[in-house]
Structure 1
């Protein structure tokens, strides 16, 4: 099953990663994403280093 994981500047890494409860960081979204998932990064400036884990 494909999941959409949302990231937004008004989010929280304690959220669910949904459109109404997005994550704050791309790193958090990457850490929970599974193969086939899509990460939707909403408008904003994200100053972070991404830790990629296979």
Structure 2
């Protein structure tokens, strides 16, 4: 049996967006939702400075 690598959950963190940029992301979610009739969630993230290794 092949051994799986452990998952690393702390490599990325939520991006620190300005209120204006956050509003633009939410507006884009709404536009996509309206165009597709599906719930959509966009996630902004950045690489963490924490190195788990």
Pairwise TM-score range, normalised by the shorter structure: under 0.3
Q: Please give the TM-score of this superposition, normalised by the length of structure 1.
A: 0.21
Q: Please give the TM-score of this superposition, normalised by the length of structure 2.
A: 0.21
Of structures 1 and 2, the one scoring higher in RCO (CA 8 A, sep 6+) is 2
